[in-house]
Amino acid sequence: MAEANPPRGKMRFRRNAASFPGSLHLVLVLRPTSFLQRTFTDIGFRFSQEDFMLKLPVVMLSSVSELLTYIDDKQLTPELGGTLQYCHSDWIIFRNAIENFALTVKEMAQMLQSFGTELAETELPDDIPSLEEILAIRAEKYHLLKNDITTVTKEGRVLLTNLEVPGPEEAISSSLECHQQISGDWQTINKLLAQVHDMETAFDGFWEKHQLKMEQYLQLWRFEQDFQELVTEVELLLSQQAELADVTGNIAQVKQKMKKIENIEEKSQELLAKARLVILHGHKLASNHHYALDLICQRCNELRYLSDILVNEIKTKRIQLNRTFKMHKLLQQARQCCDEGECLLANQDIHKFQSKEDVQKALQDIENFLEMALPFINYDAEALQYEFDVLLSPELKVQMQNVQLKLENIRSIFENQQAGFKNLTDKHGRPIQFAPSSENLIRPRMTFFSPKHVGIGYSFFQACKLFSKVIHDCQEKRNSDPSSSLNNDNNLDILKNHVLNELIQTERAYVRELFTVLLGYRAEMDNPEMFDLMPPLLRNKKDVLFGNMAEIYEFHNNIFMSSLENCSDAPERVGPCFLERKDDFQIYAKYCQNKPRSEMVWRKYSECAFFQECQRKLKHRLGLDSYLLKPVQRITKYHLLLKELLKYSKDCEGSTELKEALDTILDLLKSVNDSMHQVAINGYIGNLNELGKMVMQGGFSVWIGHRKGATKMKDLARFKPMQRHLFLYEKAVVFCKRRVETGEGADRYPSYSFKHCLKMEEVGITEYVKGDNRKFEIWYGEKEEVYIIQAPNIDVKMTWLKEIRNILLKQQELMTGEFQCQQDQLTEQEQPSPQQNAENTFFATFCFLYIT
């Protein structure tokens, strides 16, 4: 290095030594060529040589040729006698370009991260146009970022092209240091380009998943909108058909209602076609692995269920109206028949008969009239009553009674007149002259009808006979004038006795079936002669297969059936009969809890020869599994029969006890159902029975949030809610995930994986959540964890909130009672100080505020 000013050169050496990445071992100083500069250099180094020697050795060179003895000419520039082609300005340009490129890559990574955070944290709107707008804006941002990535990639490739590593021959000719420098810059840019490529790949994958989820979210919104529109239209049609609930009235009103139901049916056909398209769309979304698969399937099932209800309701209403119209037509024809009968009586004036032939002709007309009605005398009146009983209004029953009275009077008159005519033809052989006094023998004493001369037909007499039979029983029980209220009471008594008889008869059949199964299957498993037909492992499965069926049989055969039979003449004792033995019915809960294990055994061994041989001996058309289901069917049958019996026992003796019995059976069914779900919970550490009685259970959509502390990004980025099955106990709320299992019986007996358990003593609720009236919040502790719960509908939400409030209120009352007991104990021991009273009051107030 040539330097004219040694002190300044010394400072430069020190600065280079501080900034140079390696260690300095030798300093080469090239003297200037001019005399003055060389003289000053010698003098300067002479005074400062000791400073240099303290740090590192310094060699004074007189010429460039001496420099070549220390440094290879390939590492020196031409001005120093070397061959290294180096331009410092070019190096600065390349270095700035590399650093700018590295900074650009860093900024690009930050932009991509910022865009991802924006996608995760932005709350999606609740309407389709806004959602489509957001999707378009995000797509535009994606394309802009994609273009920026492309631009950065092109810039890096340009730099890489300018810094291409030279070939072997060029590397030999060029300096090694320059080659290493270029190679290092090339590797740096190549690494940055690799990072850009990785970022682009990850960004494309993220955007592809996000776009797919957003498209599915938009599809779900459109599907939900179509679903809600169809539900609204279906409910509108259901309300319109419900307005036609009264199928009674005159024939003109019935015709008008029939036209309305036809219009409703036409609209329903168009609506059902739309529903089928929406269901097909839902199935298509489900087949494309939509993230909301469970919700879409649920909506399809709901739509299918509503469609079936609409079709059945319209069909039922149409049938009722047709039957009502048919009944009105028959009633009209019956009136015409009565008028025709009166007309026939009026034409048979006894004073106009001049000969025996006239009497015989009149007698023949009467015989023809009665002969046409004779085939309907043996018609089944109960069948007609069963067909039209629902349609018979009090007004219509009165009309039918009037027609029946007319028919009875006409028949009685015809029969009397027929007998009189026969007596006259037997006594007289000449032309007959009748005296006026003989008129009272064969003519009615009062005028019944106003004849209209309508032709008599076969259906007229059928209608007359059928309507006569319908009200025949009611008139036999009449003492004086007919009463519609008495008629209703008699009909209710008949129906009530019919339901009671069905209850007793089915109970006997049920006991016989249980005895047959226990004797023909369970006892045969202990028969040594049948061991060859039975797998060895099946012999130890008897208690699992049949559960406590023997206990159920003993209860019904020895206790309950005889109690029911004692109620055959006293329906009012049915309610107490159930209430007195409500605790005994808990044996059904044990049977139902064992049912999944029983079915597993049956599915495993159902094809073995033992069961086939037992079925052959018993001559059963159905297999054992059908009879193992009998107890479950029976307990549900009690509910239906008690409901029917209560329907016909309103305001009667024993109706209150009957209502309590029905509620008891419903509670039993709920308890059995809840216990079936509880035994399917897996993964809970502890005893679920310690949580108290299960109050409710059901499926919900759940979001988990945190009101305090750092918020997890995965919670914010969650589009799809978690599907959880909640179990509400008296002391806790248990969150479970319903496991999707395959195979037979998987849907009948679900399985649940335990997730969370919130103690009710630390739980609070928020009843209304912005955005959806089906949502409510359950927060834990001091709102550190917030669970947003979305119910299937508003009714389910209100029911759950009611039960949770009741539990919290009971806890509040319990805590208040314990606090009061403690206060009383302290009062008995010693009089508390004012400060203690204030502290206790604060504690009670705090407990009340926390619970409410």
pLDDT of res. 476: 45
pLDDT at 713 > cutoff 50: no
pLDDT at 247: 66
- Model confidence band, residue 702 (pLDDT cutoffs 50, 70, 90): very high
Residue 214's pLDDT is what? 82
Is 141 in a helix, a strand, or coil?
helix
Which token pair is 673?
A: 């159902």
- Cβ atoms of 786 and 777 within 8 Å: the answer is yes
Does 81 score more than 80 pLDDT? no
Cα separation of 314 and 308, whole Å? 10
**Mean of all residue pLDDT scores within the chain:** 74
pLDDT at 781: 74
Q: Does 486 have pLDDT greater than 60?
A: no
CATH of domain 88-215: 1.20.58
Task: Tell which wins on pLDDT, 625 or 815.
Answer: 625
pLDDT score at 35: 57
Q: Is 70 exceeded by the pLDDT of residue 796?
A: yes
pLDDT over 70 (residue 631): yes
Residue type present at position 578: F
What token pair was written down for 668? Answer: 């039993």
Residues 6+ apart with CB under 8 A from 749: 595, 596, 599, 676, 680
Higher pLDDT, 336 or 639: 639
Say if CB 508 and CB 563 are below 8 A apart.
Answer: no
Among 387, 276, 236, 271, which Cα is nearest to 326's? 387
Is-contact 56 24, C-beta < 8 A?
A: yes
Measure the CA–CA gap between 779 and 764, rounded to whole angstroms: 5
Class of domain 490-677: mainly alpha
Question: Residue 752: is its pLDDT beyond 60?
Answer: yes
- Segment 338-380, tens digit of pLDDT: 666 666 666 665 555 666 777 777 777 777 766 655 443 344 4
* Mean pLDDT to the nearest integer, 401-424: 67
The one-character DSSP state at 32 is: P
> CB under 8 Å to 274, separation ≥6 — which residues?
226, 230
Token pair belonging to 415 = 């029969």
Whether residue 101 is predicted with pLDDT greater than 50 in this model: the reply is: yes
Any alpha helices (H) in 581-729, and if so which ranges? 587-605, 609-618, 624-628, 630-647, 655-678, 713-716
Percent of the chain with pLDDT over 70: 67
Evaluate if residue 387 carries a pLDDT over 70: no
Report whether CATH 1.20.140.10 matches the domain 221-320: no
Contact indicator for 503, 646 with CB cutoff of 8 Å: no
- Of the pLDDT bands very low, low, confident and very high (cuts 50, 70, 90), residue 156 is confident
As a dihedral over the C-alpha atoms of residue 193, residue 198, residue 203, residue 208, rounded to 10 degrees, the angle is 130
Cα distance between residue 316 and residue 736, in whole Å: 41
Query: What's the whole-number mean pLDDT along residues 129-137?
Result: 82
Over residues 513-536, the mean pLDDT reads 88
Of the given ranges (600-609, 735-744, 756-765), which has the lowest mean pLDDT? 735-744
pLDDT band at 789 (very low <50, low <70, confident <90, very high): very high
pLDDT above 90: residue 30: no
Length reported for the chain: 852
Taking only the tens place, the pLDDT of each residue in 50-69 is: 554 446 677 777 777 777 77
Sequence-distant (≥ 6) Cβ neighbours of residue 738 within 8 angstroms: 699, 723, 725, 750, 751, 752
Burial class of 686 by CB neighbour count within 10 A (0 to 12, 13 to 18, 19+): exposed
pLDDT value, residue 22: 63
Of the candidates 694, 679, 699, 766, the one whose C-alpha atom is nearest the C-alpha of residue 730 is 694
Range in 35-39, 243-247, 526-530 the model is least confident about: 35-39
Does the pTM surpass 0.85? The reply is: no
User: CB-based contacts of 208: which residues, under 8 Å, 6+ apart?
Assistant: none
Backbone phi, psi, residue 306, to 5° = -65, -40
**Gap between the Cα atoms of 375 and 461, Å rounded:** 9
Interatomic CA distance for residues 331 and 430, integer angstroms: 44
Residue at 733: amino acid letter:
V
Please state which architecture CATH assigns to domain 685-829.
Roll (2.30)
Which of 261-265, 384-388, 675-679, 830-834 shows the lowest mean pLDDT across its residues?
Answer: 830-834
pLDDT at 463 over 50: no
Contacts of 87 (CB under 8 A, 6+ apart): none
Task: Show the tokens assigned to 358.
Answer: 């006239």
Q: What pLDDT was estimated at residue 431?
A: 45
Q: How confident is the model at residue 29 (pLDDT cuts 50, 70, 90)?
A: confident
CA distance 543 to 664: 28
